[in-house]
Every structure is written in C-alpha cells, then in structure tokens.
Amino acid sequence: MTSTTDPTEPLSVEQLSATTLLRFATAGSVDDGKSTLVGRLLHDSKSVLTDQLEAVAHASRNRGQDAPDLALLTDGLRAEREQGITIDVAYRYFATARRRFILADTPGHVQYTRNMVTGASTAELTVILVDARNGVVEQTRRHAAIAALLRVPHVVLAVNKMDLVDYQETVFAAIAEEFTAYASELGVPEITAIPISALAGDNVVDPSANMDWYGGPTFLEHLETVPVTHDLATCHARLPVQYVIRPQTAEHPDYRGYAGQIAAGAFRVGEEVTVLPSGRTSKISAIDLLGRPVDVAWTTQSVTVLLEDDIDISRGDLIVPSKDAPATTQDIEATVCHVADAALTIGHRVLLKHGTRTVKAIVKDIPSRLTLDDLSLHPHPGHLVANDIGRVKIRTAEPLPVDAYADSRRTGSFILIDPADGTTLTAGMVGESFASPEPVKTAADDDGWDF
Amino acid sequence: MTTVATLSEETDSPYALSHLDALESEGVHIFREVAGEFERPVILFSGGKDSIVMLHLALKAFAPAAIPFSLLHVDTGHNFPEVIAYRDRVVAEHGLRLHVASVQEYIDAGKLRERPDGTRNPLQTVPLTEKIQSERFDAVFGGGRRDEEKARAKERVFSLRDEFSQWDPRRQRPELWNLYNGRHAPGEHVRVFPLSNWTELDVWQYIAREKIELPQIYFAHEREVFQRSGMWLTAGEWGGPKDDETVEKRLVRYRTVGDMSCTGAVDSDATTLDAVIAEIAASRLTERGATRADDKLSEAAMEDRKREGYF
C-alpha cells in the first residue's frame, strides 16, 4: 500500500457532483489493523497524496526505521508520534465516485471510551474490527455496546487478518454469528459482517479471490451503498431555533424569520406548529432554504421559517408540529458517558445544553454505572469518572422538550458543561440505555443472516 | 454459503442531502450558533478561496439581514495586489466592516523582526493575537480545513484559546453530536472552523455550484516567477529573486493564496472552474505540499504555530 505509481482514475466533474455524504467511525483494539485499514481506504481512494507519503518516508528515515511508518500519516500530534499511540479523535476525508466520506478515526484503548463516544455521536455507521485469530474479545463487546448506546444505525463487523487463518469460512462464520447474537441483543438494528485482510487487500476495495465462499459486498462497496437517512415518515419533526433574523431594513421592514437546522423530520408550509416551552401555536407561512423558498424542508437542512402570527420566539425555543409535540419536563433520566477528567458527582451544579438551549441543572442521582465488559450494572457508584458510562437523574431549572434518544439522536441528546470553566463534562442520552432487540423474523422475510 | 444482507438497489432515500448541501447546512448551522452565543465574533478574511466560501456561507446564514460580524485581515505586507483589490471590493459591496492587522506596521515599529528566510507567514501570529485581544473578539472564524494537514485533522470546530491565544491539543473539549460548547472566560476566545469537514475539492465544487467570484490568480495566467526551494514564487519587491535566481514567464495558477514569500504557483492551463476541478481531482499533491513553504519547516510546523495562536 505504499505504492505511489498507481493513482486511481480521476473522477469527472459530473461524477463528483451527485454524491452523498456518509459519516462513519472506526473502532478497534490496539493491534487489530485499524490503521492499516484506514491507510488502505485513504490510499486506494487517492486520499493520501505523494507529498504526504514522502513526508512520512522522510520522518520514518529520521527515526531510523527502514520502511515508511504509516501511523505517522494519521498521528497528527507531536505527543502521539512520540508515544506511538493515537490519543484523540481525528477526522479524515476521502471520496469515491459514488460517495464522500467523513471518517472519525477513534483510538481503541479502553481509557479512550469518550473518544469513541465522540466519534460515534455523529456517525451513521460504525466499523468494529476484530482479529480473525482472536475472535470476539472484551474490547469488541465494549465497542458493540457503545455503538448500541449511541444508536449508530449501521454496524459493520470487519473480521480482519483472514489471511492469517487461511481464509477459512468457518472461522469467519463463527465470529460473525457470535457477534451478531451479542449485538442484536443490545438492539443494534443492522449488522453486516465482512471478512477482510486490510494488509493483503482482500474484500477492502476489491473482492477477494481467496474467499469465493463470501457472496457479500466488499468493505468499500458497503460504505458506498448503505442508506444514509431514515424514513422521515416515522420521525418527529423538530426545529431548534438558533437565531431570529430581523433585517429591519427599508426592503424588509417586518421580516421576522426563525433560523435553525432541522433536527429531525420534515416541516411543510401551512403546517400548524407549537413553540416550546411556551406552548404558543401558529402556522408556517413560508420556509426559506438559504435563499430559496420551498414548500417542504427536512432533517439537517438549515432553514429559516416564517410564521403567520407574530409570537414571542427566541433562541433556545423548539418548533414542533402541533400534532406531535413532546412533553416538557424538568426531570431527565438519561444514560451518560462522562468525558471530563474531573468526576461527576451527585449534587453537581452544571449547565445542560440541549438543542440550542442551555439551562442550569443539578445532578440529583447516579443510580448505576455500567460495566461495559459484561453489561452489568454497578448500583449507586456515587460518582462517574472519565470514560464511565452510567445512569443519571438530572433536574433542570427550566422545562425542556426532550425526546427519547431512541426516537431522535439530535433532540434526545445533551451535554453537561461545568459552569465554572466551561469544560464539557458529560454526553447524555435521554431514556432507556439499550434499544429493544429486533423481533425475531420469520424465515420468509429474513434478509439478514443465512448460514 | 455464508452471505450477508443483500445490497439494496436504492442507496439513498429521496431525503438524503447531496454532500455539498450537507456541508453547506452544517456550515450555516455553525455560523448561526456563534451569532447566538457570542458577543463579538469576527471572520478572518484573507481573500483566499476558503475565506471567500466562509463569507458566502455567512451571507446565506443571515439573509435577508446583514452578517452580524465584522471581518479581520492579517496583512503581511506581501500580499498579492489582485487579492487586496478583491478584498476591498467585497467589503464595499456587502457594506462590511474590515479590521486590518498589519505585519508591516509591527516591523516598522520594531516590534517584529524580519526573518532571514524572508517568509512573513509565521510573523502573522503576533499582530493577529494582539488584534483579537485589543478588539476583545470572543469568536474568530477561520477557514481552516481538517484535510489540509495532520495537526488540523485533530482540530475541533469550536476550539478554545486561552488568554495568550494558545491552542493545547491535549486539553480540547470533545465535540458531541452538533452540540458545540462556546463557553469561555473573559480574555479567552474560541476559534471557529465552519469548513472543518470540507476538502479542497468540496470548496472548489461549491464555488462552481454557487458561481462565487474569485481573485483571478486562482486561474491560469502568465506570470513572472522564479524558482526557490522547488516552488515558483512571484517576483516582487518583497525580496525575490536573489542574484542566483532567474525570472521566467510561465503559465501558472495558485492553489492557495497566502503571503507572496511562501506561496508557490503551480504550472497549469486551467482557466475555468471546471478545468481547475478536473486538475485538482487528478493531482497527486496536496495543496499545501504543492505550494506552501511554511509547512515544510518541520514535522510539527503547523502544530507548533497553532499552539502559539496561528489560525
């Protein structure tokens, strides 16, 4: 993979325009070949360019290494290069003719659980790597549990180093079966297992001649074709108001628009809406999609909404369809991942940011801490330290319209902030920890596993 | 036979945004978050393509109202005249307020010393950070992209800087979902990077789609250049060519626009946006590798400069 003489074909301007974006995250233990896989994806998609490879070769020679150390490509910080480990999430970019990718490259060490949570929070797909020789290990289960907690819609189990187990189907099948059973129990909605060798290139970009028993997609093909949005019909529409746009100019004397990025679902002109927490109602009179009037707008579009009535709305409010408004509450129960070095304790006074609203809050109780290894609950731990995942009860100073995280990753999530120094303390997910497993399907409509 | 879920023919729902729409929407969201949470934001504006795209996103984010921020340009004194002219035209056209931090003024006042290698890029840090402090800017938008450089790949969208404008990569706040944390103490500020997730190619495709005007030096033109450290530099009063360097006329364009003393031109016959996009898609060099001397100083050059307060 260090070859620089075989650039892939350049993409045409037309090919480059009609692509969608997939955000995904990688997770893996220390020696399972994650950087090799990332390196191969970047390299084979022409995202590692000659000057970057030269810089790596140069730095490797300076260290007295014979071969270019590809970890230098991704370890961006001085401390990471010095210690030879990846400390922090890095974001990487590559593209194929079919899609653009944002890869949250997260370290695999258990003490960096918070980094995996960070990467998974914006990911639509998580890749969990296992070494085919070792199979499902403790760390694999931790990664699966975090993907389940964060409700990442798609999980890929990449069974790596198949070359070291003679490309045996039985080895792959046993690992895939064990993992799928475990992850399904956690409620992971979709699991795709792919046998690969990142080093040899089997099933990463090109189908492997060594595993003709495998009939599924290559790793890259799966990344290119996995659907990136949910069915909006089942989503609750939510628009957190970021900013009120009032030009107050001669041309627009009365313009009053509510700007925000749609967090979930779709909004239509003419729809009856309720503004929370006040509960006032009106109708959408127009939607402005960054300079273009539209009849309908949907999730992750940044829009400006105009209402028929002049009602009091400001940053922090949530606009929802009147027929589908969440209840507001001052008592939130959530699963959290503590991300700060200082502990989170009962009685801690914090700020809670939910959508565009930041309110004072107090940690009322920490009923349990989750042990990721076996998913057992440790009752009343008293506090949570960095990388702990636990259940927390929070009382907020003002009512908040929160959804369950299971229903909406955007309006069901929040962060806790230390009011003294602004540190981000905790990532929170409202409601139950793990999704219910999928109901058992009958053989007729089973499009999943077929052993 | 072992198999996995069959691939769906329909890869994306009709509600999937194109990658440019997704990036645009995210950028606008970031501008609006800053407008909602900060008192005195400012946009770093160099007249380069990234800051031009930033300005375009900001104009869209608040339309039909005016942008609620001013602009700040760190003028090295060695800027391309075409770019300065572009800058002043844009400022006038949109009725914006422009702050200028001048490296030349610092040198003239004896507060900064010219480097022996003649590059002024590293000298920008002091005028920039002092301007931020004196104007009490609390949020400073930069056009930095994570794809540019491996230290930048570690950068947050909201990046807290201390009262000395320093970046400490080990003390960064995790960024979860799209819940950006803009809390800061008086004297501290937050660097904000709305183009974090954009690549060079995304920027060019967006410029083409939105028909955004650029300074002409981004397109192929004949220019008097000379070679130094493997780069084609523009001859000029800033300090080139030296006696042993010869000027020649070449058909070139710029991939990045920075200080004349450290930004190289590339051989190119791309005179249109489509030609530029095709050229970048086929290039085997990153834009910095091709054209920036300042990043070649050491393995951690960017990280070190960012720690000091560079953007």
The rounded distance, in Å, linking the Cα atoms of B24 and A228 is: 17
Is B11 a residue whose pLDDT tops 70? no
Instruction: Say if A311 is an interface residue toward chain B (CB within 8 Å).
Output: no
The band of B297, judged by pLDDT with boundaries at 50, 70 and 90, is very low
Q: State whether A92 and B153 contact (CB < 8 Å).
A: yes
Best residue in B2, B56, B205, B256 for a mutation probing chain A (most A CBs within 10 Å): B2
Is B307 a residue whose pLDDT tops 90? no
pLDDT of B245 reads 85
- Torsion, Cα A342 A346 A347 A349, to 10 degrees, reads 40
pLDDT of A271 reads 97
Mapped onto helix, strand or coil, the DSSP state of residue B166 is: coil
Taking chain A (451 residues) in consecutive chunks of 10 residues, what is each chunk's mean pLDDT? 38 61 83 77 74 75 72 62 61 86 80 85 94 92 91 95 96 97 90 93 92 95 86 80 95 94 95 96 97 94 96 96 95 96 96 97 96 86 94 97 93 96 96 66 37 31
Q: State whether B196 and A91 contact (CB < 8 Å).
A: yes
Mapped onto helix, strand or coil, the DSSP state of residue B150 is: coil
Q: Which of B99, B160, B87 is nearest to B127 (CA)?
A: B99
Residue A147 corresponds to which tokens in the numbers above?
């993907």
Q: State whether B154 and A427 contact (CB < 8 Å).
A: no
Residues in A 11-70 with any Cβ partner in B closer than 8 A: 11-13, 16-21, 49-52, 54-55, 59
Contact A81, A65 (CB under 8 A): no
The rounded distance, in Å, linking the Cα atoms of B171 and A284 is: 43
pLDDT of A54 reads 76
pLDDT of A375 reads 83
Residue B143 corresponds to which tokens in the numbers above?
């056009």
Q: State whether A427 and B176 contact (CB < 8 Å).
A: yes
Q: What is the residue-averaged pLDDT of chain B?
A: 86
Give the pLDDT confidence of A305-319 residue by residue, as tens digits: 999 999 999 999 999
Residue B26 corresponds to which tokens in the numbers above?
């995210």
User: pLDDT: is B298 or A444 the higher one?
Assistant: B298
Chain A residues in contact with B7 (beta carbon < 8 A): 217, 221-222, 225
What separation in angstroms does the CA of A341 have from each of A303, A369, B190? 37, 17, 21
Chain A residues in contact with B177 (beta carbon < 8 A): 121-122, 409-410, 413, 415, 427
Tell me which residue in B1, B28, B196 faces A213 most closely, judged by beta carbons.
B1
Instruction: Say if A410 is an interface residue toward chain B (CB within 8 Å).
Output: yes
Q: Which of A429, A428, A431, A421 is nearest to A341 (CA)?
A: A421
Contact A369, A411 (CB under 8 A): no
Give the pLDDT confidence of A340-383 residue by residue, as tens digits: 999 999 999 999 999 999 999 999 999 999 988 788 889 999 99
pLDDT of A94 reads 87
Is B7 a residue whose pLDDT tops 80? no
Residue of chain A minimizing CA distance to B184? A422
pLDDT of B150 reads 75
Q: Report angle CA B24, B29, B33 to the nearest 5 degrees.
A: 150
Residue A121 corresponds to which tokens in the numbers above?
């929070």
The conformation of residue B78, written as its DSSP 8-state character, comes to -
Chain A residues in contact with B26 (beta carbon < 8 A): 261, 300, 302
Give the pLDDT confidence of B117-171 residue by residue, as tens digits: 777 878 888 999 999 999 999 999 999 998 887 777 888 999 999 888 888 877 7
Contacts 24+ apart (CB under 8 A), A244-253: A244/A313, A244/A314, A244/A315, A245/A304, A245/B62, A245/B63, A245/B64, A245/B65, A246/B65, A247/B64, A247/B65, A247/B66, A248/B65, A249/B64, A249/B65, A251/B64, A252/B64, A252/B65
pLDDT of A22 reads 94
Out of A304-308, B153-157, B273-277, B303-307, least confident range: B303-307
What separation in angstroms does the CA of A217 have from each of A208, B6, B8, B254? 10, 8, 11, 41
Q: State whether A246 and B184 contact (CB < 8 Å).
A: no
Other CB atoms closer than 10 Å to residue A380's CB: what's the count?
A: 10
Chain B residues in contact with A17 (beta carbon < 8 A): 18, 20, 205, 209
Residue of chain B minimizing CA distance to A62? B299
Reduced 3-state DSSP string for chain A? CCCCCCCCCCCCHHHHHCCEEEEEEEECCCCCCHHHHHHHHHHHCCCCCHHHHHHHHHHHHHCCCCCCCCHHHHCCCHHHHHHCCCCCCEEEEEECCCEEEEEEECCCCHHHHHHHHHHHHCCCEEEEEEECCCCCCHHHHHHHHHHHHCCCCEEEEEEECHHHHCCCHHHHHHHHHHHHHHHHHCCCCCEEEEECECCCCECCCECCCCCCCECCCCHHHHHHHCCCCCCHHHCCCEEECCEEECCCCCCCCCCCEEEEECCECEEECCCEEEEECCCEEEEEEEEEECCEEECEEECCCEEEEEECCCCCCCCCCEEEEHHHCCCCEEEEEEEEEECCCCCEECCCEEEEEECCEEEEEEEEEEEEEEECCCCEEEECCCEECCCCEEEEEEEEEEEECCCCCCCCCCCCEEEEECCCCCCEEEEEEECCCCCCCCCCCCHHHCCCCEC
Q: State whether B25 and A117 contact (CB < 8 Å).
A: no
